[in-house]
Amino acid sequence: MQRIEQHACFGGTQEVWQHPSSTLDCQMRFGVYLPPQAARGPCPVLYWLSGLTCTEQNFITKAGAQRYAAEHGLVLVAPDTSPRGSDVPDQEDAWDLGQGAGFYLNATREPWSRHYRMHDYVVDELPALVDAHFPTTTARGISGHSMGGHGALVIALRNPGRYRSVSAFSPIVAPSRVPWGRQAFDAYLGDDEAAWKQWDACELLRDADERLPLLVDQGDADEFLQRELRPDLLRDACEAAGHPLTLRMQPGYDHSYYFIASFIGDHLAHHAAALK
């Protein structure tokens, strides 16, 4: 791995690292915040998954999470949203498909299947690198925004026992039923909609064995609320499955990082309580 950024921040350090990924067959970057407590020993880790069009930079520069991570002694890891590079397939006429829109799944359809395996990268390869290079414990949480909120919910539900906490901002909760998800699933997975269910949080809740409490914040002025996000479907799925959910509709907030920055402290406190 190669460190390409390092900045002092709230008594710790915000870093960006680059490495060759065997899972994605390309160079990848991720941000890692090391709180001041990491200088004295291993700390729990919170993984953050960003949304459409984002890179590792959006969260580390806009969310203001480092302040709270320093208070709670949490390592923050923020990967890129998808594989990158000139030989990685892309959809140049669509900002919501291809590079910047990996959807945190394992693609099975060409030409995407060689590189677009973000689920395995986030679940297996990235934590192995983080644990080998940084002072971390085995306690992990996962969170994200929009497409990344979808990724956080799905990854937690698909991997019981791996994470101790999960939360999301404005997640795509039922991608099989909304335009963003259907476009991505058709491209990456093919037209067999039965296969889509394993990447849909509302579908996965039906058979979830683990009852990891979900914390979800959603702005009621979000421009994508009714067309793409549909938190009502998550509420219905959790009620039907008896799954614990705290869904907070925040008046006046939109889909931006102004919204995330306003409530990120609550989310880090939620994770810290579970991870410690």
Q: Whole-angstrom Cα distance, residue 200 to residue 153?
A: 9
Using the predicted structure, report yes or no on whether residue 211 has a pLDDT greater than 90: yes
Q: Is 222 a catalytic residue?
A: yes
Active-site option among 50, 82, 143, 146:
146
Helix (H, G, I), strand (E, B) or coil at 41: coil
Q: What is the pLDDT of residue 102?
A: 97
Active-site option among 90, 222, 243, 267:
222
Cα 48 to the chain's mean position, in Å?
Answer: 5
Q: Which CATH number fits domain 2-271: 3.40.50.1820, 1.10.3720.10, 3.30.460.30, 3.30.1300.30?
A: 3.40.50.1820
For the chain, which residues make up each domain, given as ranges?
2-271
Q: What is the pLDDT of residue 156?
A: 98
Q: What is the pLDDT of residue 191?
A: 94
**Mean pLDDT of all residues in the chain?**
97
For the stretch 64-102, pLDDT in tens is 999 999 999 999 999 999 999 999 999 988 999 999 999
Closest CA relative to residue 59, chosen from 40, 79, 43, 39: 79
Judging by DSSP bridges, how do beta strands 75-79 and 136-144 pair with one another? unpaired
Helix (H, G, I), strand (E, B) or coil at 6: strand
For the stretch 93-136, pLDDT in tens is 899 999 999 999 999 999 999 999 999 999 999 999 999 999 99
Active-site option among 119, 243, 255, 267:
255
Distances (CA, A) of 79 to 90, 121, 148, 234: 19, 9, 10, 25
Report the predicted TM-score, pTM, of the whole model to 2 decimal places: 0.97
Q: Is 266 a catalytic residue?
A: no
How many Å is the maximal CA-CA distance in the chain? 51
